[in-house]
A and B are shown apart, each in its own frame.
Chain A
């Protein structure tokens, strides 16, 4: 079975600084997708960034980028120029052949002014 692990329950960063959230996963599948979701206090799940496993190039969305290391099964999220609105729970997630979205345990990000 696939698993997703986030080893950082909480992280903090100062406004305008950069922070990296870690995620590792375990799978025997070769074709899958990885995601980072943000869950603000409203609890609405918001897609931050996605990565197709077959693509070697790391995905980037404005201030958000990933470091995808397929061999190491690592998928970290880098947030540059952090803003107060980035404070939220961040979940790493995996979709494989079953179409089930499997979540990590989450990382609570605090942003200090």
Chain B
């Protein structure tokens, strides 16, 4: 199946700094990627839809100035958590959907555990 690679898998940063998370589709082109946030023992919450070559679409309640998304190519989307605070500590997951022969499927990165200290 298709592979989505997310990096880093774990990052610890100081409060006030920015952190960039990369999401790459390794063997297919993803015009659209999705960024999720997952709190402990909870479901995945969609943060934004990342569209190649255009601005991301953010879900209600998600601060676009806090979570900067760039989708510069068909294989790379980045999420930058700006001026991180301890409440931004969470598990972030990216995914990309692809449709092949009429079958739509989503593939996930390994996730990034962000800890802000």
Contacts and interface: CB of A to CB of B under 8 A. Distances in A.
A16 B106 CA distance: 30
A51 to B, nearest CB: 11
B49 A101 contact: no
A101 B34 contact: yes
A45 interface: yes
Given A95-B97, A100-B49, A101-B95, A47 B43 contact: no
Contacts of A33: 104-105
Size range of the chain B interface in the assembly: 20 to 34
A47 B32 CA distance: 19
Q: Is the interface of A mostly helix, strand, loop or mixed?
A: strand
Interface of B: 1, 32, 34, 38, 41-44, 46, 49, 91, 93, 95, 97, 103-106, 108, 110-111
Interface of A: 33, 35, 42-45, 47, 50, 52, 91, 93, 95, 99-106, 108
